[in-house]
Structure 1
Amino acid sequence: MKTKAKISIQNLPVSSVCKQCGRELPQEFFYVNRQTQCLDIYCKGCRKEIGRRRYNSGSWIRKEQRDKYSYLVITQVEDPIVRMELILHALKVVRQSVKHKRMKILEEEANRTDYV
Structure 2
Amino acid sequence: MKKAIGLILLAAILAVGGFYGMKYYNETYKEAPAYAVVPSQVPKKEQTRDANDKIVPNSITYDYNFDFVKEDGTHQTMHFALEGADVKPFTPGAYIKADISQKRVTKGPNEINKTDVPTNVQDKLAK
Larger-Rg structure = 1
- Determine which structure has greater relative contact order: mean sequence separation of CA pairs < 8 Å that are 6+ residues apart, divided by chain length: 2
**The structure with more strand, counted as a fraction of residues:** 2
TM-score (norm 1): 0.28
